[in-house]
Amino acid sequence: MKESTQENPKPVTFVGAGPGDPDLITIKGHRALMDADLVIYAGSLVPEALLIHAKKEARKINSASMHLDQIISEMEKAYCNNEYVVRLHTGDPSLYGAIFEQITELGKRSIPFKIIPGVTAAFGAAASMGIEFTLPEVSQTLILTRMEGRTPVPEKEKLSSLASHQASMAIYLSMSMIHDVAVILSKAYGNKSKCAVVYRATQPEEKIIYTEIENLAQRVRQEKIKNQALIIVGKVMNISQHELKHKSKLYDKDFSHEYRQ
């Protein structure tokens, strides 16, 4: 294998594949996928329907069983052979994508990279449910987080601390600790507050469960949901289309701004 140089004009490209619906990859991400000589994809989450858009001759490697050194080794070999490498991540690479450790290793080898963002599951779920996370005078904050498990979280980012703000919240990677999640949310939002569990957002198998927080753990167990789901909670979940009292100033006929007097 030759040494890494700048002769290869195409940096390693991290592409967000979206939450599952193959059509939700961006046009820019789709073009990168079509041009790739090597696609390393997160096989446990990225739908195989996306891979049909890659060139027939492109090599496709499922990273589900690979560790970091193996992934970087494949990237380095391909880059040094002047191949275009696409690292295909589910959702958006910047959120629970473990890309920074890959970027760090590429930097050690003087291999350039770029990132193409994608649609994360929280936004796919909101679209499916027909909700807005930031309703005027109800909530203007969205928290994306996870319950502490095998991966620890900073003390100030414990779920109990974040939930105390009562903001809109999308909780990832926490199905295995659903009972603990429910206890924390109940204390912060109240037993009767509504929430939703969205399984495989935007995918054909998508399932949305609406429930009150006091029944959250029980419903998840009944539906046998163990992974690939997120919890949506917040005051916005308690507002129906017929109960909205406050509207944005943006479209208020009595509110003037730069484009409307």
Quote the domain boundaries for residue 48: 12-116
Rg, Å, the chain Cα set: 21
Using a pLDDT cut of 90, give the percent of the chain over it.
Answer: 80
Domain termination residue (choose one: 80, 99, 116): 116
- Summarize pLDDT for 74-93 with one digit per residue, the tens: 999 999 999 999 999 999 99
Share of the chain above pLDDT 70, in %: 89
**What are the φ/ψ torsions at residue 96 (nearest 5 degrees)?**
55, 35
Tokens standing for residue 147:
């319950």
- Helix or strand or coil: residue 180? helix
Whether 190 and 92 map to the same domain: the answer is: no
Give the pLDDT mean for 97-123.
97
* β-bridge partners, 197: 209, 231
Q: How confident is the model at residue 8 (pLDDT cuts 50, 70, 90)?
A: confident
- Please tell me the distance from the alpha carbon of residue 251 to that of residue 236, in angstroms, as a whole number: 20
| Domain finish residue from 84, 116, 148 | 116
- In single-letter form, the type of residue at position 234 comes to G
Residue 254: the pLDDT is 56
Residues 30-73 have pLDDT tens digits of 999 999 999 999 888 888 888 988 999 999 999 999 999 999 99
User: Which amino acid, one-letter code, is at 56?
Assistant: K
Short-list 216, 26, 195, 211, CA closest to 120:
26
Same domain, 92 and 194: no
Average pLDDT over the chain reads 90
- Alpha-carbon span 98 to 144, nearest angstrom: 16
User: Number of structural domains, the chain?
Assistant: 2
What confidence tier does 132 reach under pLDDT thresholds 50, 70, 90? very high
168 in the same domain as 68 = no
